[in-house]
């Protein structure tokens, strides 16, 4: 019998101590598929141990790759024996990042066969810019009955000039992966600049690719015949770090976050400072302290270096505790406020209209039974539970564990009263793992 997990949090305890931030999930989910281009053994270090990375490694194994777990967070991948396989579909359907297989399969085999990706429900999540990029590189694409089939008639993609109509993290990454081994030069304009895009470029370059401009608006990829083996250590997770920062801001206390790149956190630090949270930065750590009342502010989410949409639910919890009225404007997704109804169960006063949420500060949140609606919405419920008076029970935490390595253990080490409990499944209940669930 399957078991369901819940988190039980007794809130109101300030957080104190140190926490190690894991490797970046969104870098990992791009780099694992990109490893398919590598001829030889590719060692990835600082890999977060979360269900999304496990699924992607499983996909590579089902395609014939040798995957060896060297130590926690370090894995050797040898893709010399890979081939296309429909056995991967049960995994590709459940994770968003499976769309990177289109680029990596086209780069490796000159053809691709996968399913439409899964995805947290933030409204419509098109992949037209990915498709536009692959077509520009010479691929023919056929989408139907949930399958994506692509083929480069000449067996190898051809470099091209591509302008993305929308700043898209996924399309930038996918086209960059596909172009790495295409023939000739690819210029991708109006690209996203997130830290994990730079990390993917650094990974590919360390394996022999020739990619310049990642982190700016234009990326130039000079295609190489093949990539060689090597080892690469992932950057720390910006959003995991940001989530711990909001947890301290909401629950109070003082925590040092180790293994971070403070520059990547500036967009989050700036907002928390406006609210009265003290943040000091070292080379690879930051210290977050909150010991006074929180002040209101406004937040607009934007592509990097703007405030990350993946931090919007978590900062909303902090705004709930600030004196006065704050306004959140979602600038990336159409529908990212599904967690608001859960927060209202805890006493939050939030009014949503389209892409705007107006948050009236309350004296405190109250513990309640709530559900994790998606990965970051679930993280917000954890932050809310930590600062709330009384007990919060969070259901569907499988979403949270897709993106946060050992979140319960890390919070307990900081003094939080949080436990993961399991209970037998109720008959007839649908499992999240079988739903589309990835961000």
The rounded Cα 220 to chain-centroid distance in angstroms is 25
Which entry of 79, 120, 267, 320 is annotated as an active-site residue?
120
What distance in Å separates the CA atoms of residue 306 and residue 125, rounded to the nearest whole number?
20
- Among the listed ranges 166-174, 265-273, 286-294, 405-413, the one in contact with ligand UD1 (CB under 6 A) is 166-174
3-state helix, strand, coil in the chain (%, to 5): 35, 30, 35
- Does 166 participate in binding ligand UD1 (rule CB under 6 A)? yes
Q: Of 9, 24, 29, 139, which one interacts with ligand UD1 (CB under 6 A)?
A: 29
Q: Which residue of this chain has its Cβ atom nearest to ligand UD1 in the complex? A: 170
Q: Of 93, 96, 113, 402, which one interacts with ligand UD1 (CB under 6 A)?
A: 96
Beta-strand (E) ranges in 275-348? 278-281, 285-290, 299-300, 325-329
CB of 391 to ligand UD1, least distance (A): 30
CB of 105 to ligand UD1, least distance (A): 17
- Cα-based distances in Å from 6 to 14, 55, 341, 422: 22, 22, 19, 6
Are the C-beta atoms of 246 and 311 separated by less than 8 Å? Answer: yes
- Among the listed ranges 8-16, 164-172, 292-300, 421-429, the one in contact with ligand UD1 (CB under 6 A) is 164-172
What distance in Å separates the CA atoms of residue 300 and residue 357, rounded to the nearest whole number?
10
CB of 249 to ligand UD1, least distance (A): 21
CB of 142 to ligand UD1, least distance (A): 17
Phi first, then psi: give them for residue 263, nearest 5 degrees.
Answer: -60, -40
- Does 309 participate in binding ligand UD1 (rule CB under 6 A)? yes
Phi first, then psi: give them for residue 345, nearest 5 degrees.
Answer: -60, -20
- Does 236 participate in binding ligand UD1 (rule CB under 6 A)? no
**Residue-level length of the chain:** 439
- Does 101 participate in binding ligand UD1 (rule CB under 6 A)? no
Q: Is 3 exposed, middle or buried (0-12, 13-18, 19+ CB in 10 A)?
A: exposed
Does an H or E element contain 9, and which?
strand 3-10
- Does 432 participate in binding ligand UD1 (rule CB under 6 A)? no
- Nearer CB in complex with ligand UD1: 112/224: 112
CB of 253 to ligand UD1, least distance (A): 28
- Among the listed ranges 167-175, 221-229, 407-415, 423-431, the one in contact with ligand UD1 (CB under 6 A) is 167-175
The rounded Cα 129 to chain-centroid distance in angstroms is 19
- Does 400 participate in binding ligand UD1 (rule CB under 6 A)? no
What distance in Å separates the CA atoms of residue 121 and residue 95, rounded to the nearest whole number?
12
Hey, which residues between 115 and 134 contact ligand UD1 (CB under 6 A)?
Answer: 125-130
Could you confirm whether 42 is annotated as catalytic?
A: no
- Does 174 participate in binding ligand UD1 (rule CB under 6 A)? no
Which residues carry out catalysis? 120
Report the interface residues with ligand UD1, using CB under 6 A. 26, 29, 96-97, 125-130, 166, 168-171, 192, 309-310, 332-333, 439
């Amino acid at each position: 019998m399957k078991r369901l997990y819940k988190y039980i949090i007794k809130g109101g305890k300030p957080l104190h101590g140190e926490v190690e931030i894991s490797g970046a999930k969104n870098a990992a989910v791009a780099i694992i598929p990109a490893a398919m281009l590598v001829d030889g053994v590719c060692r990835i270090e600082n890999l977060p141990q979360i269900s999304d990375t496990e699924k992607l490694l499983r996909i590579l194994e089902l395609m014939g790759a040798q995957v060896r777990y060297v130590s926690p967070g370090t894995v050797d991948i040898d893709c010399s024996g890979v081939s296309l396989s429909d056995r991967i579909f049960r995994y590709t359907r459940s994770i968003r990042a499976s769309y990177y297989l289109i680029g990596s399969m086209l780069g490796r085999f000159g053809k691709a066969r996968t399913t439409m990706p899964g995805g947290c429900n933030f409204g419509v999540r098109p992949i037209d810019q990915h498709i536009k990029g692959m077509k520009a590189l010479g691929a023919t694409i056929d989408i139907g009955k949930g399958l994506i089939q692509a083929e480069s008639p000449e067996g190898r993609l051809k470099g091209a000039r591509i302008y993305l109509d929308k700043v898209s993290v996924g399309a930038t990454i996918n086209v960059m992966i596909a172009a790495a081994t295409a023939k000739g030069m690819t210029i991708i304009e109006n690209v996203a600049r997130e830290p994990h895009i730079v990390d993917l470029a650094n990974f590919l370059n360390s394996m022999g690719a020739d990619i310049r401009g990642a982190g700016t608006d234009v990326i130039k990829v000079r295609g190489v015949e093949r990539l060689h083996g090597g080892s690469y250590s992932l950057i720390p997770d910006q959003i995991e770090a940001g989530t711990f920062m909001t947890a301290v801001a909401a629950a109070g206390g003082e925590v040092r976050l180790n293994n971070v790149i403070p520059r990547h956190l500036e967009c989050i630090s700036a907002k928390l400072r406006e609210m009265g949270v003290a943040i000091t930065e070292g080379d690879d750590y930051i210290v977050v302290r909150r010991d006074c009342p929180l002040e209101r502010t406004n937040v607009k989410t934007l592509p990097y270096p703007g405030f990350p949409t993946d931090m919007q639910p978590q900062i909303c919890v902090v705004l709930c505790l600030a004196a006065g009225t704050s306004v959140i404007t979602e600038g990336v997704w159409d529908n990212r406020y599904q967690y608001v109804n859960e927060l209202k169960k805890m006493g939050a006063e939030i009014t949503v209209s389209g892409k705007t949420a107006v948050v009236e500060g309350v004296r405190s949140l109250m513990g309640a039974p709530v559900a994790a609606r998606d990965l970051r919405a679930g993280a917000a419920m954890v932050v809310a539970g930590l600062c709330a008076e009384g007990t919060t029970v969070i259901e569907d935490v499988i979403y949270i564990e897709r993106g946060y390595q050992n979140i319960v253990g890390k919070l307990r080490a900081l003094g939080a009263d949080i436990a993961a409990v399991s209970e037998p499944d109720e008959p007839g209940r649908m499992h999240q793992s079988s739903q589309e669930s990835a961000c």
